[in-house]
Amino acid sequence: MNEALADLIRISNVMGKDSTLVQGGGGNTSVKSADGKYMYIKASGTALKDMTTKKGWRRLRLDSVLSIIKDKSIVRLDAQAREIEVVNRLLLACDDEVTSGARPSVESHLHAFLDRCVIHLHPIAVGAYVNAKNGKAKLGKLFKGTAPPKRLSQGGRPLAGTSKSLPSLWVPYTDPGFTLAKRIEKLVVHYENRFGKKPAILFLQKHGLFISADTADAALRLVRKIIKLCSSKLKKPKAHKPKTLVYEDIVAAKLAIRKAVFDATGQYLPVDYFLTTEPLAAFMRRKDAAKLLATPAMNPDELVYANGSAIWLGPRKRKKNGVRKPLENCNVNTITRKLRALVNKGQKPAAAFLVKGMGLFVAAPKKAAPVIAEITLCSLLVRTYAAKFGGVLALTKREQDFINNWEAEAFRKKLASGDREGELKNRIAVVTGAGSGLGRSIAISLARAGAMVGLADIDTEAAEETAALIKGDSGEECATGEQAEVIAVQCNVTSEASIRRGFKAVLGNWGGLDILVNAAGPVRDPTGKVSNGAGVAPAYPLVDMPVDKWRLALEVNLTGYFLVAKEAARIMIQQGMGGSIINISSKSGLEASRNNTAYNATKAGEIHMARGWALELGEYGIRVNCLAPGDVFEGPRIWNPEYIKVCAKKYGIKPEEVIPYYVSKTALNREITGHDIADSVVFLCSDRARTITGQTLAPLEIFPF
């Protein structure tokens, strides 16, 4: 392996595994080749800990990168055009066999004129100083081994360093990207002219730490030395044991936050809860917690990933009689008001919410939530420390605007969040019977439309197969991609306890519910065999119908739909954001078919139940509709060879003539597929159908027979 690449992966993994040094996808590393021709650098949006010899980096021609800084024509461009030009030039400077489209770090030109090994981190211990009003002065006293030289041009001021001979370099806040690179270039040139060597330590105000050294080991040692020295003057907050919360309170808080985010921004977002840690519990006990969180983002990462500081949700006044319960701090109207206040100030709506007595909640795409939580928890410590050094030094409105409009940061955030488009983007759905047949087709289409889907099925293995199909793990054509959000949920629709456990899993994972599709169908018998449709469509003449088959059809088709809808409606009402419930009925619910007493009755019942639910739930904004498709032959377990033989006997035709016979009965004389039905479901769940409720759609017109 190339020595430079090996060093890059080693220092990246060592630093990236420590969340006190770098959070989420932040931080950067680079190593130059021994001949000085190339520079290996972290790819934009990649977490340091995730880098390997095969991914997460790019190799650039060093002379091409340095030429970007020297090109005066770039300086004359406006900010937006300039940053896009830099991104394109950095891509052109790449000289490797990477085909994934990964971008080299936007700080590549900055790394280019520093020493061989460069480590850029956002350590909590350093953040305490660079994000504090008096942080520069505190660092000057802390690093007092050498008297600081005269002020350098461009506002740079060396601080006394850990080395006996060379000071560190203080870099006042500068807009990231090309402007920062140009400023540091001038500071480094002045520094090198004065001391004969490039600076090894750079403290960037409102940003972080840069370490530059000849070797990887020297860079790692220097990082540890700086962190130890900076930490020596920081007193850790007193630990407090977190409170134990009940599940119902956590769910209620999630639903309240999700509703408030929707009211304030119109966005559907999942909500995650992160277990309260001792430092977090200690922060929530601080009397100045609200004040510490009142300032905007301290640095670019906090702004880009978490949309700024967390919103504090604590009691305004303590009740005279009794103790205020933690859940009372999580009021929908209060959260909505706070979010709207941020937007009115031109800031982004916060993604993190700190509820006193409960803990940290994050409203964001599932992939981004852990990153936001990590950044927020570290921010709480930095703010606590900065309060001792004159107070928090936050980004100004102008500085925030630049970062918010910077394409490079938008690119990083998109990578971190796994953001997907689709008309059902971030809606939370549950599909029963998702392990096969129509349920599987519907689940796939909902995921393709951007929804997060709970795949509920009594057959967990089948649900997992659907999950693999959606995520692309199975290698089949209908994969929606790695970014799809789905979970397999074991659920027996005839058991209230099983249904509650299923919805508990969905709420625990995403914190809400917007869509329910009742599509449960045939089940496996105790031997593991799939029934021939007798579970829900027992095909018998009236005089031969076994009563146990009749009762089983009622239990799955009616009781199952009723119980699942009952639990879903309770959640949707509590959430207060409306919703959509869809019953998958059948043509037999509209026009009876021969020798199908149980199926005719139950499918008609599903339609009538939905009409009644539409009347009941309309006041809560919950729409309820039905689909009554004709026969779907691909996928459903009911259409197995045994059931086809039963149908052939019923109509006096050969088994191979059954499907063509059914198709010939349609007005369009074409076979309907599971995805035809699924497209109708997506429509009914979307805002395009916002005024449609209590209706029954027949995706393919049929004739009675």
Residues labelled catalytic? 599
> Is the Cβ–Cβ distance between 138 and 34 less than 8 Å?
no
**Nearest CA-CA partner of 255 in 332, 348, 367, 354:** 332
Residue type, 371: V
- Cβ–Cβ contacts within 10 Å for residue 529, how many? 9
Tokens of 265: 């921004």
Residue 386: Cβ-neighbour burial (10 angstroms; 0-12, 13-18, 19+):
buried
Residue 248's Cβ-count burial label (10 Å; 0-12, 13-18, 19+) is exposed
Q: DSSP of 280-310, one letter per residue?
A: HHHHHT-TTHHHHHSS--SSHHHHHHHSSSP
Beta bridge partners of 39: 32, 60
Distance CA 191, CA 657 (A): 87
Contacts of 17 (CB under 8 A, 6+ apart): 49
Cα three-residue angle 430-562-494, rounded to 5 degrees: 80
- Which residues have CB under 8 Å from 452's CB, separation 6+? 270, 366, 426, 427, 428, 429, 485, 486, 510
Tell me how far CA of residue 696 lies from CA of 265, 516, 559, 582, 585, in angstroms.
32, 16, 20, 10, 9
| Consecutive H or E run containing 584 | strand 579-584
Please report the beta strands in 140-268, taking only residues with DSSP state E, as ranges in sequence order. Answer: 157-159, 168-171, 201-204, 208-213
Indicate the residue type of 356.
K
The 3-state DSSP class for residue 413 equals: helix
- Angle 656-657-663 (CA atoms, 0-180°, nearest 5)? 120
Nearest to 606 by CA among 630, 585, 623: 585
Phi, psi of 663 (to 5 degrees): -65, -40
Cite the DSSP H helix spans in 97-155. Answer: 108-112, 124-130, 135-142
Q: Order of strands across the sheet with 311-313?
A: 271-274, 359-363, 352-355, 311-313
Q: Output the CA–CA distances (angstroms, integers) from residue 140 to 59, 130, 157, 167, 193, in the order listed.
A: 37, 12, 10, 10, 22
In the block, residue with structure tokens 């100083």: 129
CA distance 670 to 356: 60
For 527, other C-beta atoms within 10 Å of its C-beta total: 5
Q: What is the CA radius of gyration of the chain?
A: 30
DSSP state of 434: T
Going by their DSSP bridges, the two strands 428-432 and 515-518 should be labelled as parallel
Length of the chain measured in residues: 705
Question: In the Cβ-directed half-sphere of 243, how many Cα atoms lie within 13 Å?
Answer: 16
**What amino acid occupies position 319?**
K
Closest CA to 115 of 259, 243, 222, 43: 222
The secondary structure element, H or E, covering residue 70 is helix 62-70
Name the residue type at position 675.
Answer: H
> Three-state DSSP class for 453?
strand
Query: Containing H/E element for 60?
Result: strand 57-61
